[in-house]
Amino acid sequence: MRIGIDVGGTNTDAVLMDGQSVLAAVKTATTRDVTSGINTALAELKRQRAFDPLAVNAVMIGTTHFINALVEADRLAPTAAVRLGLPATASLPPMVDWPERLVDAIAGRAYLCHGGHEFDGRHIAELREDEILRVAEELHRHEIRSVAISSVFSPVNAEFEQRAADILTGQLPAIAVSLSSEIGRMGLLERENATIINASLRELATQIVDGLSQSLEGAGISAPLYLSQNDGTLMDVDFARRYPVATFASGPTNSMRGAAFLSGVESCAVVDVGGTTSDIGVLQHGFPREATTEVSVAGIRTNFRMPDVLSLGIGGGSRIRGDGTVTVGPDSVGYRLADEALVFGGATLTATDVAVAAGRAVIGDPGLVKELDRSLVRAALDRIAREIGDAIERIRTSPEPLPVVAVGGGSILLPDEIGDSGPVHRPEHFAVANAIGAAIAQIGGEVDRIFPVEPGQRQAVLDDAKQEAVDKAIASGAKPGSVRVVEVDEVPLAYLPGNATRIRVKAVGDLQLEAGRG
Amino acid sequence: MSYTLEIHDLADLARGAALLGTGGGGDPYIGRLLVEQALRDGPGTITVLDPAELGDDDVVIPTAQMGAPTVMVEKIPRGDEAVAALRALEGHLGRRADATMPIECGGINSMIPLLVAARTGLPVVDADGMGRAFPELQMETFSVYGVPGSPLAIGGENGETVVIDTGADNKRLEWLARGIAIRLGGVAHIAEYAMSGADVKRTAVPNTLSLGLRIGRALRTAREEHRDPVAALADTMSGTLYDKVRVLFRGKVVDVERRTVAGFARGSATLAAFEGDGRLELVFQNENLVARVDGEIRCVVPDLICVLEADSGEPITTEGLRYGQRAVVVGISTPDLMRSPEALAVFGPHAFDLDVEFQPVEDLVSL
């Protein structure tokens, strides 16, 4: 048995699953200290379905805690950034494009040292131990407890980041070190930004992970704890302590994966219609397609592995206007829906009202909208269907029709069929899709580097890259026979010799559940 | 008239330069940050000089970057490489530059001369040698009208400089310089096509920095005011050397195919019309080269083929083309300077091995 828990800003949801079946599902309020909310959720689960804590093999938790801490600039540790790249890169030092407020919140200090690699693995400059030792003295003097290390082309070769980390920890054994090569992809500033953010969250990560472990222990559960990552795979608690930033987008990822699991389709578009917006993402073989562009988080450019989600200003509370052309949103009555919508006796025409008037759902008092102009109702619903349909068109990557899975309270706005996608899937229990997404998560391994591909060698290079990804997944705890390659992306690079090609491979497999845990 | 470029102009300029880059020219983010940072750190301001204000004997040394845009996002420059290249060329020529100038319009190469200007105090001439973006160094109006690229100086981040002189052979210059760029890690900062003020007035495409700035501003304000970006673009171009703007197609990207041939990103994209069943096929090599609608040619290099996001008017680069994007494809006439037989021999369709004859966009598509 597994337990999946989703700690959102408002709700903490939990599910108890055995294989593919959901044995119990609960929704409770999130608490400021997180752990008491989890304790409540575990107790509720047990009340719904008595289980032996020792029969639980694994607990998977998805949390928005860390991204919220960044957005609120709250509880961030004093952090230093050390970049290895001199004499190159001096023009744009670390944190160059950050909002002032966040640099202040982490008391950010930046150090530039020699080092770094060229795209083909040559050294830009040798690492200088004396420079790193001087940085160590500075960190000590300023009482900095967490440091981010980045190096040019470290996705190609991470040796300098490793060596700098060894030198720093040799001097400052207690310092927390975050390496950019472990976190991001190509794009020095974006990867470095993600690493600095990670470093600033390290102390919070220790507190949270310890708290979560204690909650489980308190409930008598001795199974290993995992946290969900942005890409829908799991990390163990040791990794979570070191790389909290990898949880940033786990919320939407878990929600999409949970929805797909519930509806039984592996490749689909997931439309999550809330009160104000609709978020549309694509799952390929059960995993969200990731954004290829930079993502700004709290005003900082990063290249996190975030799901590619398109947001439209259409939700259950969207205002409908009918003078001339009928418009839907983007403004919404939001959480005041229960006061302002016509079906609740309010005075504002909302998307929910037209859905009720068309008989798609019974909400509030349908009698209050039965006098609505039929052509207005039809025009508004047509417009919603068209805009969502266009967004699905835009987000899919091939002309092949993609099944649509609709979740969220506002999904009553959607018609039964959209475009050429066939019938819209509407899974039950979507309210706890996030927690289910956490519970079904797998273990992943990824390779993302520039490879020289000599003529005739393409297949051999690809095979090597795939094997490396598979090995990484197994090393992270995947069951060997279950690992499969789910994504291969080749981008030939312009203006470079030897057909330099950036190859990205992702492999995932089932979590190796430890039998001895009973 | 000369004027001062401010930090807040840079985002608009980058957007407009990306449009004139006609699908290529690189990602403007790092280039823009470099200029912003140089303006913040130093006392420098950037003076933009109309070519008409140049004295005939003034020395103008253009600066630029060549190489792989994908390297630039990882190995950020030290910041003074292009200045070092400029100084090396000055030393070689035994003359000081009175101004620098772009060789190209594009996300990166419109910015490098501004970086040099911010760091040295030299003014930037409001002109360039491509009037758009092209993939190779010899594809310049400068070279078409008799200004050699040689001598060319390259600056690297270790303070090293290399001067290459191939006489009148600009193709060999390009080949040697690219070899050194690879030794330097895939990107090189260069100073080349040193020329007199008289040569600038004779061979450069004038006022393209200002045009980029005006285009960027027009697209932004059109979006802010919910106006049609294409109409705003046509208004901006009217009365300039690029005054014929034609909408070639409105539709959705339904296919993108890319491959690398001899170090260049070649490929094609297909768009399907929003209404009806028309199709536009776009052939590109870093930049957009030919647009055909239902098999009929509608716009050919060196005329500009610009792909804009349909709603926002934001230019889409060839690297950024994705299935599902909704786009407007616009053809824009290039200045006469770029359509002469001599110019077409250097950067017309045959220079890209295309079996197509150049025809002006205004003859191919009526208003």
Asked whether the beta carbons of residue A124 and residue B322 sit closer than 8 angstroms, the reply is no
Chain B positions in Cβ-Cβ contact with residue A282 (cut-off 8 Å):
none
**A310 and chain B: CB distance < 8 Å anywhere?**
no
Nearest CA in chain A to B185: A118
**A420 and chain B: CB distance < 8 Å anywhere?**
no
The class of domain B3-206 in CATH terms is: alpha beta
Across the range A475-497, mean pLDDT stands at 77
Residues 349-408 of A with CB under 8 A from B: 390, 393-399
- Matching fold, domains B3-206 and B228-364: no
Stated length of chain A:
518
Please give the C-alpha separations between residue B57 and each of A10, B1, B60, B204, in angstroms, as whole numbers: 71, 19, 9, 15
Asked whether the beta carbons of residue A91 and residue B37 sit closer than 8 angstroms, the reply is yes
Q: What is the 3-state secondary structure (H, E, C) of A36-56?
A: HHHHHHHHHHHHHCCCCHHHC
Q: How confident is the model at residue A495 (pLDDT cuts 50, 70, 90)?
A: low
Asked whether the beta carbons of residue B73 and residue A497 sit closer than 8 angstroms, the reply is no
> What CATH number does the domain located at B228-364 have?
2.40.390.10
Q: How confident is the model at residue A492 (pLDDT cuts 50, 70, 90)?
A: low
Asked whether the beta carbons of residue B78 and residue A88 sit closer than 8 angstroms, the reply is yes
Q: How confident is the model at residue B262 (pLDDT cuts 50, 70, 90)?
A: low
Q: Please state whether beta strands A2-7 and B152-155 pair in parallel, antiparallel, or not at all (unpaired).
A: unpaired
Nearest CA in chain B to A398: B323
Across the range B70-80, mean pLDDT stands at 90
A177 vs B45, more confident:
A177
- The C-alpha atoms of residue B356 and residue B297 are separated, in whole angstroms, by 9
**A96 and chain B: CB distance < 8 Å anywhere?**
yes
Work out the burial of residue A249: count CB atoms within 10 Å of its CB; fewer than 13 is exposed, 13-18 middle, 19 or more buried: buried
Asked whether the beta carbons of residue A399 and residue B69 sit closer than 8 angstroms, the reply is no
Distance from the first to the final alpha carbon of chain B = 33
Reported as a single tens digit per residue, the pLDDT across A377-408 is 999 999 999 889 888 877 776 677 889 999 87
Distance from CA of B325 to the nearest CA of A (A): 6
Average pLDDT, chain B: 92
**A495 and chain B: CB distance < 8 Å anywhere?**
yes
Across the range B248-265, mean pLDDT stands at 78
CA quadruple A321, A326, A330, A336: dihedral, nearest 10 = 40
Distance from CA of B227 to the nearest CA of A (A): 17
pLDDT at B16 over 60: yes
Chain B positions in Cβ-Cβ contact with residue A187 (cut-off 8 Å):
73-74
Are B150 and B39 a contacting pair, CB within 8 Å? no
Are B261 and B135 a contacting pair, CB within 8 Å? no
Q: Hey, which bits of chain B come out as E strands?
A: 3-5, 46-49, 59-60, 63-67, 124-125, 127-128, 152-155, 161-164, 187-191, 195-196, 205-206, 245-261, 264-273, 279-285, 287-293, 296-300, 304-309, 326-332
Across the range A167-182, mean pLDDT stands at 95
Across the range B93-113, mean pLDDT stands at 96
Reported as a single tens digit per residue, the pLDDT across A299-325 is 899 877 678 888 888 888 899 998 778
Q: How confident is the model at residue B145 (pLDDT cuts 50, 70, 90)?
A: very high
Reported as a single tens digit per residue, the pLDDT across A7-29 is 877 778 899 999 888 999 998 88
pLDDT at A493: 61
**A55 and chain B: CB distance < 8 Å anywhere?**
no
**A118 and chain B: CB distance < 8 Å anywhere?**
yes
Distance from CA of A298 to the nearest CA of B (A): 18
Distance from CA of B72 to the nearest CA of A (A): 9
Residues in CB range of A225: below 8 A, 6 or more apart: A58, A59, A60, A61, A209, A212, A213, A216, A236, A237
pLDDT at A515 over 50: no
Reported as a single tens digit per residue, the pLDDT across A319-333 is 999 877 888 988 888
B56 vs A334, more confident:
B56
Reported as a single tens digit per residue, the pLDDT across A49-71 is 999 999 999 999 998 888 888 88
Distance from CA of A71 to the nearest CA of B (A): 23
pLDDT at A292: 63
Q: Where are the domains of chain B?
A: 3-206, 228-364
Asked whether the beta carbons of residue B264 and residue A186 sit closer than 8 angstroms, the reply is no
pLDDT at B241 over 90: yes
Asked whether the beta carbons of residue A89 and residue B76 sit closer than 8 angstroms, the reply is yes
Is the whole-model pTM more than 0.90? no
Asked whether the beta carbons of residue A91 and residue B79 sit closer than 8 angstroms, the reply is yes
- B265: nearest CB among A116, A397, A494: A494
Asked whether the beta carbons of residue B323 and residue A397 sit closer than 8 angstroms, the reply is yes
Q: How far is CA A451 from the centre of its chain?
A: 27
High-pLDDT (> 70) share of chain A, %: 96
pLDDT at A517: 36
Average pLDDT, chain A: 87
